[in-house]
Amino acid sequence: MSTAAYELSSLTGVLAHGWQRSKQVRDGTEAAQELEALVRSGDYFVTLATELDQISRDATDYTVKMELENAISDLIYLQDHYSITKNETGRIG
């Protein structure tokens, strides 16, 4: 798996972050462990925003590009104001 340094612009400045290509996650797999490590470090939202920004750069459809940019802005807001906690029951909700 390759890693790359990357900068993501935001309304408050530039966020610098390393990112990796995501894999499908299943409990107990290496990918799940990597995802949990991102969550524990507090970097999940910005990592996802970085990956969406990369996709946005390749998008040719203006509407798709704007939707991705809106999602990126939401993720940056979440990164700045929230954290993820584990649901101990294993259920959503």
Query: Domain for residue 92, yes or no?
Result: no
The 10s digit of each residue's pLDDT in 73-93 is: 999 999 999 988 887 776 655
Query: Domain for residue 11, yes or no?
Result: yes
Query: Domain for residue 7, yes or no?
Result: yes
> What pLDDT, on a 0 to 100 scale, did the predictor assign at position 90?
61
For the question of whether the overall pTM of this predicted structure is more than 0.85, the answer is: no
Query: Domain for residue 90, yes or no?
Result: no
Spatial distance between the Cα atoms of 70 and 44, rounded to a whole number of angstroms: 17
Q: Which domain holds residue 39?
A: 3-81
**What total number of domains does the chain contain?**
1
In contact, 10 and 40? CB cutoff 8 Å: no
The 10s digit of each residue's pLDDT in 46-62 is: 999 999 999 999 999 99
H-state helical runs in the chain: 30-41, 44-58, 62-81
Token duo for residue 59: 């998008």
Least confident of 8-17, 22-31, 52-61: 8-17
